[in-house]
A and B are shown apart, each in its own frame.
Chain A
Amino acid sequence: MKKLATKIKNFSFRSIRTKMVLFFLIVALFPLLLFGFLSYGKSSEIVNKQFNEYEQFAVSQLDKQIENIFEQMYVVSKDINQYLSDPTLVILQEEIPRTYTGFIEIKNFERYLEAHKTYDTKGIYLITNTGYYYGNSRLDIHKLFQKPFWKEINSLKEGNLWIGFYNSDHYYTGKKNEKIIGLVFPIESDFGVLKGSKLLIETNAEELFSYIGFLENELHSSITLKNGKNQVVYKTKNSPKELTTDIIWNNHFDAYGWDIHVRIPQEYYYQSSNVILRYTIAAILFSIILVSVLAVVFSAPLTKGIKSLNSSMKRVSEGDLDTQITVTSNDELGILSQSFNVMVNQIKELIEKISMTERLKRQAELKAFHYQINPHLLFNTLNSIQWKARLLGAKEVQEMIYHLTEVLHENLNFADELIPLKKELQTIKHYLRVQEIRYGQTFEYIEKIHSECLDYLIPRMTLQPLFENIFFHAFEDGEGSIELVVTVKPEYLELTLTDNGKGMNEESIKKLLNPNHHGGNGRGIGVYNVDQRIKLHFGNEYGLSIESVVGVKTIFSIKWPKRR
């Protein structure tokens, strides 16, 4: 439990698991609530209706039972009264029998009374003014006279009747605490024995009270019975407080003046629908728990996958590129893991490549730095040699060193990769001057350049390697003629460098343009580098091409875009 509690505490609302639980809850709850409350509504409506009809029926049964008992007693009393009040029938000669005929009369009369008994009749007695009675001899008349209700009976007028409940303790035999409904009816006769006599009809009310008990216990109803004088003759004991929301039935028997008042507290009246409501809510709560558990259980492997992906990503972001996720499933998560692995590998490769080139660049820079240090010494030395030569009057040496310095200056300058064409041409002029001093007036140099071209940019050191190639391979002792033509085409610039040297065959041209044929000695690499540099700067559609006729001429042509 504690574990669970802390787990819940640690549950961030942003976590996918929480979202999933919420999602499932919504998915489950919506139809559940819909079905639950629909079925609750419908079934409670039906059950309530049935139950209420049943209750109404049950209450009306009480009415009927009471009315039936009254009716029956009333009919019997009327019948006996009519029989007694018929003046042509002299029924009772002597009040207390002493003679044979007296006994026979009374036996016949008592038989007549007995004949009116039905299943539930407790007794039928005719009680005279003096306290003698006719009917079976089980009645203890003294006890009956002591009953409180009998006082009322004495003041009962002819034509009226009394109905009430009392106990059966005025019988010699049988149970003393049976509930009885009694009806007392004054006989309408002025003749002798019958004058002032009263007819008492008693019905066993146990069944009625057991029914009342059933209504009280099963339907939680409170029942009040009032007689014709508005006196309460029965009231449910410990009945709950009367509320205005109680469901109430009232019935009034006009013939006897009795009132039946039945009250059921609302909560019990709607008890059955409350039960359904409780079960529906319980079902919803149960399903919430079940859904939560299921969601947690089902989302656990999913979130576990996502979590491991997440941690792997973190590790990658922290630099651990050897991170790989073991792929366990074929679903989207698996595919994601797979692509993640591929991505990590690609990044790894890329980074290796970049670091390699970075390393190379670093080396080159170091080299360049190395060279930059050296040129100072070189240039200083060359300058001082130049000055010594001038002092010594060696004009040619001084001039040669000046041009060499200029050429070297350009060669060792790493500042700008691209320079205007005119600057490159100037460097070539210094180079040619050095060669002239070296070989003498042995070669011819013709420049045909459109003045418009002079400001277009060209990679540094594009032309010098080509000139070097001419002097080293095409000419012998610097003899020959060189023609440099730069023409402006609509799209690009074209430079042709033609010499009339030895020329070269196809194989040599291929060798010159294919770096694989060169060793690390640097011979011939210059021409290849020129082509590569142009291609690097401007793209592969540009570059250097070579045409040659062996023994006649060689033409280097360069195509490059117009750039300023």
Chain B
Amino acid sequence: MKKFRMTFLALILVFVMAACSDNQSSSRADQTRKEGNEKIVLRFATWDSGEALKIQEAIAEKFEEKHPFIKVQMEAYGDEFDQKLAAAFGAKNPPDVMYMWNFPAYFQSLEPLENFIKRDPTIDLNDFYQGLFNYSTMYRKLYGMPAGFTTRVVYYNKDLFNAAHVPYPKDGWTWDDFQSVAKKLSNPAIEQYGFGVRPEPDTYDLQGIVWSNGSSFISEDGKKIDSYMNSPETIESIEVFADMVKEKSAVLVGGKNQQSGEEVFKAGKIAMWESGIWPLEEFKNAKVNFGTVEMPAFKGKPVRGVISSSAISIAKDSKNKDLAWEFVKFFSSPEAIKMRTADLPVRISMVKEMKTDQDPLIGPFYKMLERSNATPSYLLAKNWDEINRNLSSAINAIMLEQDAKELLNNAVIDSEKYMGQ
């Protein structure tokens, strides 16, 4: 009896062993599959890089802490943002959430946010600077929550002003003031100029100046460019820069094979530079002794500004729209906005709480925000990209000291075919 029992046990042992060795190989494959299944992956595409990207990664991490079952996959497309986003939408495999500014081009692939906002009582739209919603609204539907923005101001190098014994510019100054100050600060012999002009500026950025002169590139209903794009006021406002280059109180910077304006400003070779908030940290880090001031006005006319805003949107083809909305909401929540230092807070309460507008370097941006209520051209005309190509070709040529009136007339004539009937 005992003998049998033991043989039996030994046999059982053998079978168990054999079974064990078989299981071994299959378990490894299971493990890897499980890891992939554990979390829901939320793809988030951004055009930012460097410091700004790090901030967004930190916000995404905070979000993951609050929603442990979600993994935010950052897709930093950088300079290839448009190219990659277009490819992703084309392949019907877009990121769930993405940075967005060019709503006319993409809004058909984006999810309208009204339904989410209606269902969500915690969100308070009135706390946002209302002007920002203009930039992410298409045909009266909201496609993006404001995430950050910047207006445009004039940076000036205090050291150069001091050296030339020129008083610092003040809010309410005019383009005449601007031009005379630039002249005083220019010394072509040592390659120092009062201002840097982009030879191929983005027409978008120039809109603030055109608006300030009481004109626009396109009629408010988006149906007319003749006598807007080529109006004397538009011509005057664009010629401001071309004239300065002609008079050698400004220099062309940032063209192909040229140093960028920021580099030249940091090097102390130009006294003034017009831009958004982006280079502010860079200038601080470079220990440039600088100040900011509102954009100049045309005599007797109010200054008007243009906003560069970034919004955050949800793809129509996203498989996790509810989670995507949670992420969008978090991205525009006070907590996340507090972390965003690369651009300006979009919530009124946050600005008040952090006294952002009291900062002398930041203050002018908020003053410009108050002056930014016009709608940019790309939101008004369907074929703005095509029109803009003619407009910018004209402006590029104007910066190279060619006749502004003739060129803008050409641009209008060439663009009429793109205007909607």
Contacts and interface: CB of A to CB of B under 8 A. Distances in A.
Nearest to B403: A100
Interface string B1-45: 110011101110111011011101100000000000000000000
B407 A100 contact: yes
Contacts of B414: 104
Contact of B21 (A40, A99, A294, A302): A40
A97 B402 CA distance: 12
B392 interface: yes
A128 to B, nearest CB: 11
Given A43-B25, A100-B393, A272-B25, A287 B13 contact: yes
Contacts, number: 126
B360 interface: no
Given A24-B6, A119-B87, A331-B1, A107 B392 contact: yes
A157 B390 CA distance: 38
Interface string A85-121: 0000000000001111111100110010010011101
The listed residue with most A CB atoms (<10 A of its CB), out of B10, B393, B400, B411, is B10
A174 B79 contact: yes
Given A28-B14, A174-B78, A103 B397 contact: yes
A283 B5 CA distance: 21
Contacts of A146: none
A141 interface: yes
Interface string A169-183: 001111100000000
Given A97-B396, A104-B393, A290 B21 contact: no
B13 A36 contact: no
Contact of B18 (A39, A100, A132, A142): A39
A27 B10 CA distance: 8
A473 interface: no
B397 A99 contact: yes
Contact of B22 (A43, A100, A294): A43
Interface bin, chain B: 35 or more
A119 B83 CA distance: 7
A175 B49 CA distance: 8
Contacts of B410: 100
A102 B78 CA distance: 29
B200 interface: yes
Given A119-B87, A122-B80, A294-B6, A103 B21 contact: no
Contacts of B389: 104, 107-108, 111
B21 A291 contact: no
Nearest to B406: A100
B98 to A, nearest CB: 15
Contact of B17 (A98, A103, A119, A287): A287
Contacts of B200: 137
A114 B84 CA distance: 12
B6 A298 contact: yes
B282 to A, nearest CB: 12
A283 B20 contact: yes
Nearest to A104: B393
14 contacts: A28-B13, A98-B400, A99-B397, A100-B397, A104-B390, A122-B80, A171-B79, A173-B49, A175-B78, A275-B24, A283-B18, A283-B20, A291-B10, A298-B6
Interface of B: 1-2, 5-7, 9-11, 13-15, 17-18, 20-22, 24-25, 49, 78-80, 83-84, 87-88, 200, 255-257, 260, 389-390, 392-394, 396-397, 400, 402, 407, 410-411, 414
